[in-house]
Amino acid sequence: MFSFFPPPKKPTPSEYAVLVWFASAVCIIIGIAALVTGFRAAEANHDLAVALQVRGAWCLGIGIFLALGYWLYRRLMDM
C-alpha cells in the first residue's frame, strides 16, 4: 500500500547525542547571556536585573547538568 509518509524510524544514539548537546549548548549560551546582561544592567532596573541573574544562573545550571549527566551516562554505558 502506498503512503505519503514513510514509517517513522527509531533515532540512533548519535542523533540523541546531537539533540542533548545542542540543548545543553543553547541553555549554557542563554544562561551566560542572561548573567552578563543582568550584571551590566543599570541601577534603576535593579529588581529586573536580579530576576534576570537568577534565571540566567538556573539556565546555566540546567545546561551544565545536561552536559555532565549525558557525559556520565555515556561513560557508564560504555563500561
In a domain, 15, yes or no: no
- The pLDDT of residue 78 is 81
- The pLDDT of residue 2 is 67
Model pLDDT for residues 12-65, shown as the tens digit of each residue: 999 999 999 999 999 999 999 999 999 999 999 999 999 999 999 999 999 999
Task: Look up the domain containing 39 and give its range.
Answer: 21-77
- The pLDDT of residue 1 is 58
- The pLDDT of residue 4 is 82
Half-sphere exposure of 74 (CA within 13 A, CB side): 11
Name the domain count of the chain.
1
In angstroms and rounded to an integer, the radius of gyration of the C-alpha atoms of the chain is 19
In a domain, 71, yes or no: yes
